A and B are shown apart, each in its own frame.
Chain A
């Protein structure tokens, strides 16, 4: 499992105990709708955070602000001391540290699995073909589909596609992985295989922020639960406390509804 270990990345000017990700007063509006209303969040290296909440509560927007897929209207996002809003070079530096797995996989349909995995390392990291291929095959084996390298995405099941997407992110050797509802587009029988890969990943010490409704996964894997509603973090804490005794009424309501079925 050493292949999952993030590359060492301590910045000389960042204090060793500084959080890896820091959000301060992050606000994001879409027209009249406030998706995020001044969110503060710190994430330490190696922390596994599960973010939950009703739809439209700002969970996806929150993690998309971390790698600059959404710009922020106010407040500041920092990843290892760098803000994605500080120009193209800073944005590139942040994205080099942060990988992302999407609800709809977003694999490149015109490229084989292997080419999906090698495109980033070859074009963005400047790896040679042989090295990129070797790395791609290593991570495909990690997500348990080494035999699918030469297939095209549409030939794979949803669960396999999402595992390819995870492997594709890992090929960039990020320090942080963001998961935006990674199992929401999957048939029930495929959810388990993706969650299993994510749990293995968590066990290697990868810093992970996962937006999901899979509360079983959250209980097993998360160091910290974050509950969002209406663009705010309403409540957060270790999963044991969070599930046993949610403090806010909104969180209690949400958990009751989601855990019922």
Chain B
């Protein structure tokens, strides 16, 4: 993490700890110097694997799906464009929470397929995000100059080669900040999967609150967990952006 990113995080922790001095806070529930606090903290952090696994799986699927939806959206053929448009409009209109509930409770009834908590979460998040990814890809691809297509055509490159070697590598560089945004968004939205019982960060916090009756302290730790996670991811995306730009300027 960069030093600039670390500063606001440290500040937030400081404020939280200082306010713990007043009587209304009870930091003992998450005090790592006591056995009880340590057990509780370990319990809270144990959701990290699911949060990361869910978000990472969902973002990979949504990027691929987004590209698959975006490409026909740029076709010269109207039915293909319409199909892409329809998908984006419908999927974008469904709230993520509703989609999670529908995939988990509705899908098995209609199709007989039971996905389980993790894959229901992945499918719902990936579907929902794919509509946005498709729009991001469409914007990125449309921003590439027509001359690039014409140069590729005059070199006898077909559609696939033109996309793979000429258009997408350039589009990807341009949409990287937006993709980073979506990744952060995905990490945050993964908290919603707690409603169907997925043992990720938010669910763990909820369960601990029920046994410890200390929502303020526990949810503050939860905030810090997401904040730390997302600052790390943001820094990683920035690093990737710089690296790609450096490659181009070499």
Contacts and interface: CB of A to CB of B under 8 A. Distances in A.
Do chains A and B interact in one complex?
A: yes
Interface of A: 67-69, 92, 95-96, 98-100, 102, 104, 106-111, 119-120, 123-125, 152, 154, 165, 168-169, 172
B148 A106 contact: yes
B170 A102 contact: no
A152 B148 contact: no
Interface stretch (B67-75, B105-113, B154-162): B154-162
A102 B250 CA distance: 25
A110 B173 contact: yes
Contacts of B153: 67-69, 95
B151 A109 contact: no
Interface in B218-250: 248-250
Given A108-B166, A109-B170, A110-B173, A120 B148 contact: no
B150 A152 contact: no
A108 B151 contact: yes
Contacts of B148: 106, 108
A7 to B, nearest CB: 14
Interface in B144-187: 145, 147-148, 150-151, 153-158, 161, 165-166, 169-170, 173
Contacts, number: 68
Given A68-B153, A119-B157, 11 more contacts: A95-B153, A110-B169, A110-B248, A119-B155, A119-B165, A120-B155, A124-B158, A152-B250, A168-B151, A168-B155, A169-B154
Given A69-B150, A102-B151, A109 B248 contact: yes
A106 B147 contact: yes
A69 B148 CA distance: 12
Contacts of B158: 92, 124
Tell me the dominant secondary structure on chain B's binding face. Answer: helix
A125 B170 CA distance: 23
Given A108-B166, A152-B250, A123 B150 contact: no
Contacts of A169: 154-155
Contacts of A104: 145, 147
B151 A99 contact: no
Residue among B148, B154, B158, B249 with the most chain A CB within 10 A?
B154
A198 to B, nearest CB: 17
Residue among A108, A111, A154, A165 with the most chain B CB within 10 A?
A108
A100 B154 contact: yes
A165 B150 CA distance: 13
Interface string B132-154: 00000000000001011011011
Interface string B71-109: 000000000000000000000000000000000000000
B170 A172 contact: no
A106 B147 CA distance: 6
A69 B154 contact: yes
Contacts of A98: 154
Contacts of A69: 150, 153-154
B158 to A, nearest CB: 8
A152 B169 CA distance: 15
A104 B150 CA distance: 11
B248 A95 contact: no
A168 B250 CA distance: 21
A169 B152 CA distance: 11
A172 B147 contact: no
Contacts of A67: 153-154
